Amino acid sequence: MKIYHEVIVIGGGWSGVSAALAANKAGADTALCERTDMLLGAGLVGGIMRNNGRFVATEECIAMGCGELFELTDSISRHRNIEFPGHRHASLYDVHLAEPAVRRLLLERGITLYMQARITRAKHHEGKLIQVESDQGQVFLADAFVDATGSSGPQGLCQRLGNGCAACIQRCPAFGPRVSIARLMGLPEYMTSRRRDIPGGAMSGSCKIYKETLSQSLREKLDAEGVAIIPVPKDMVNHSKLDSKVCQQYALPEYAESLVLLDTGHAKLMTSYFPLEHLRQIPGLENARYADPLAGGRGNSMRLTATVARDNSMLAAGTQNLFVAGEKAGICVGHTEAIVTGALAGRNAALLAKGKPLMVIPDTLATGDFISFSAIDTEGNPAVPGGYGLSASHTFAGSVYFERMKALGLYTTDKQAIRKRVRQAGMEGVFST
């Protein structure tokens, strides 16, 4: 049987759910295909929102009319307005509560969800994607598609570029590995090139520890303050791990010299991995056990290996109707970044399906500037002069892009000023229309 929707989003991480919401709001009959039995992908274990420049991106989205996922994470935040090294005014959403809440929101809006629908085949002609097919044999047709399949794993890449499969939340062995739709269409994909020691990819930068395995005093501190910083004994400090992190915004010496723990429901340990026998020598962590990845003592998931060229409307280069979002759309790291790029990709997929002109977010806004600055061209070079392309992780929360935001005067925590800028750009409420 063939199933038709005007817009089909493939991948149900933060970028995919954001794309589905935006396409639905723009009036398109929208469906989402997700490989596993849960939405949110890497977002099932993240939690940090609104830190540094993400505050601006969040408020811009609220003002533009694509803020419901931010309002949702705000509503389930365990801590608000907290600080930890290099990061200010962060919120931490409860990673245990986010998925069911997001799923309800999508269903309430009338978006059709196909869970455990892993897309493995595509039929295309002259750059037009005609249909995709799941490994269960379901065939999906649409006028426009969004590839929001992320860049985590699969196991072969975690083996080749990292320390092996660490049994992370993506659960490749049970549900089958990630499959890129762009790749099914024959588009070239690029890896981040910023690690000096390996050919590409970067390792996820945090692990989760079961809070109930921490000492009572450490648990109480996390519950009350959201943050605990514990010095690491000198012989256990490993600065070289910082270089391999996906999240350059946390690649600061403080994160090698201390254990930074954040309360996201689990205790989020801000390091890619930490040998269990060392961890248990640290006061308060004598009984510590990893919740994600299960082998957090040895490694973590590899990411940033599957970026494609696109324009500022999020249309993948060389295609007529495939939009890209999230980690697929640039060397982009973060929930906020996935939601921003997803919203534009989803809206434009709907506009294309309706035969209307595509939209671009002006670069007077941080979200618009980020979208243009993080793109690569078909040779894998930065799409704009001065861009970092494959050699940097792009995030509003730190590293090169946050520096750029500050230099351009785009960083502020004044909500009224952000709304005014959105209004002046002619973008207030546009996603709601």
Ligand X SMILES: Cc1cc2nc3c(=O)[nH]c(=O)nc-3n(C[C@H](O)[C@H](O)[C@H](O)COP(=O)(O)OP(=O)(O)OC[C@H]3O[C@@H](n4cnc5c(N)ncnc54)[C@H](O)[C@@H]3O)c2cc1C
Which stretches of the chain bind ligand X, using CB under 6 A? 10-16, 33-36, 41-43, 45-48, 118-119, 148-150, 152, 178-179, 204, 206, 301, 326-327, 333-336, 338
Instruction: For residues 161 and 272, give the distance between their C-alpha atoms in angstroms, rounded to a whole number.
Output: 14
Q: Taking Cα atoms as reference points, which of 324, 343, 368, 16 lies closest to residue 190? A: 324
Q: What DSSP state is assigned to residue 77?
A: E
CB closer to ligand X out of 98 and 425: 98
Q: Measured from the CB of residue 382, what is the shortest distance to ligand X in angstroms?
A: 20
CB closer to ligand X out of 33 and 365: 33
Strands 77-84 and 87-93: antiparallel
Q: Measured from the CB of residue 342, what is the shortest distance to ligand X in angstroms?
A: 7
Instruction: For residues 224 and 409, give the distance between their C-alpha atoms in angstroms, rounded to a whole number.
Output: 34
Q: Measured from the CB of residue 41, what is the shortest distance to ligand X in angstroms?
A: 2
Instruction: For residues 71 and 40, give the distance between their C-alpha atoms in angstroms, rounded to a whole number.
Output: 16
Pull the structure tokens for residue 343.
């919203």
Q: What DSSP state is assigned to residue 164?
A: S
Q: Measured from the CB of residue 385, what is the shortest distance to ligand X in angstroms?
A: 26
CB closer to ligand X out of 222 and 425: 222
Q: Measured from the CB of residue 397, what is the shortest distance to ligand X in angstroms?
A: 7
Buried b (16+ CB within 10 A) or exposed e, 216-234: eebbebbeeebbbeeebee
Q: Measured from the CB of residue 250, what is the shortest distance to ligand X in angstroms?
A: 9
CB closer to ligand X out of 261 and 425: 261
Q: Measured from the CB of residue 116, what is the shortest distance to ligand X in angstroms?
A: 9
Q: Measured from the CB of residue 323, what is the shortest distance to ligand X in angstroms?
A: 13
CB closer to ligand X out of 312 and 336: 336
85 and 260 in contact (C-beta within 8 Å)? Answer: yes
Instruction: For residues 290 and 210, give the distance between their C-alpha atoms in angstroms, rounded to a whole number.
Output: 6
Q: What DSSP state is assigned to residue 390?
A: G
- The Cβ of residue 156 has, within 10 Å, a number of other Cβ atoms equal to 12
174 and 343 in contact (C-beta within 8 Å)? Answer: no
Q: Measured from the CB of residue 193, what is the shortest distance to ligand X in angstroms?
A: 18
What DSSP string runs through 90-107? Answer: EEEE-TTTHHHHHHHHHH
CB closer to ligand X out of 45 and 267: 45
Q: Measured from the CB of residue 381, what is the shortest distance to ligand X in angstroms?
A: 22
Task: List, in sequence order, every residue forming a beta bridge with 3; answer none if it has no partner.
Answer: 140
CB closer to ligand X out of 16 and 265: 16
- Enumerate residues 6+ apart whose C-beta is below 8 A from 100: none
3-class SS string, 286-320: CCCCEEECCCCCCCCCEECCCECCECCCCEECCCC
Coil, helix or strand for 14?
helix
CB closer to ligand X out of 82 and 425: 82
CB closer to ligand X out of 155 and 206: 206
Identify the residue whose tokens are 């588009």: 187
CB closer to ligand X out of 93 and 431: 93
